[in-house]
Amino acid sequence: MSVTLSDAELLGECRAPIPRPAGSTGAPYDLVLLDRDGTLNVHRPGYVSDPADLVLLPGAAQAVAALQHAGCAVVLITNQRGMATGELSRAELLDVHRALLAGLAIGGARVDAIQVCPHEKDTCGCRKPRGGLVREALRRAPWAAPDRCVLLGDQLTDLEAAASAGLSAQKVDGAGSSLQVVVEKLIRDHASRV
Positions marked catalytic: 35, 37
> How far apart, in whole angstroms, are the C-alpha atoms of residue 77 and residue 69?
20
Residues forming beta bridges with residue 33, ordered by sequence position:
75, 151
Taken in order 41, 42, 44, 49, the sign of the CA dihedral is negative
Burial group, residue 62, by CB count within 10 angstroms (0-12, 13-18, 19+): middle
| Residues 62 and 180: beta-carbon distance below 8 Å | yes
